[in-house]
Amino acid sequence: MVGDDPAMKQMVAAFFEQHSMRVVPVSGRQGVVSQIAADAPNLVILDLDQDLAGGLDLLREIQSRSDAPVIITGSQRSDEADRVIGLELGADDYVARPFGTRELLARVRAVLRRRGHGLAQPEPRRGRSRFGGWQLDRRLRRLADPEGRAVALTKGEYALLVAFLDAPQRPLSREHLLQATRVHEDVYDRSIDVQILRLRRKLESAPGAPRLIQTERGVGYTFILPVEQA
């Protein structure tokens, strides 16, 4: 659970542990980075409280490093626009204060069931993938460009990139790619073509004339570079 309210985190942790769920309280970006690297979470509760902008930055940080579902808890004064922004950016649920710990536990269980995570341990990660000077660290879910700069990916973009890197230089159908990213999709479903466009904007210097992800008319898409797995 990420947030700046120690009493809230302690209350949630104590209640969840009574129901066989371990909660690790975390504060700030560095705490998020360190905790995800040390112990990948099954789910993240992100308490925005008053700082909406800072909280949404943390949401992006979490998404760039983990595919764990995220539930946002926020101030009761948050208006509908704030809630919609959080959901549009990929949060799986939004719970306004004041809320009961029993309700929060029920929402956590519902999200885990819906996302297919259950309470199982996350799948093992497989090292690094390199292509055209780029490098994807799958253990940390971190993408670096040829200059070594970090490039943030949403959960859907990460899942889509992994699908391409696991089958480079082979045409992949839209149906295959949609299935590969379905467990990682945002609350509002989007076509695979829109997800491809967003990924191209992250990878391509000229997204309108793509050189890495090419369209195969009537088939789908092909990632044209060879990929080295380490």
pLDDT at 119 over 60: no
Task: Return the domain boundaries, the chain.
Answer: 6-115, 128-229
pLDDT at 61 over 50: yes
The CATH H-level (homologous superfamily) assignment of domain 6-115 is Response regulator (3.40.50.2300)
CA atoms within 13 A of residue 157's CA, in its CB half-sphere = 22
Once rounded to an integer, what is the mean pLDDT over residues 35-57?
Answer: 80
Looking at CATH, the fold of the domain delimited by 128-229 is given as: Arc Repressor Mutant, subunit A (1.10.10)
Binned at pLDDT 50, 70 and 90, residue 112 comes out as: confident
pLDDT at res. 161: 94
Res 218: pLDDT: 81
Question: At residue 78, does pLDDT exceed 60?
Answer: no
Domains 6-115 and 128-229 share a fold: no
User: In percent, how much of the chain has pLDDT > 90?
Assistant: 33
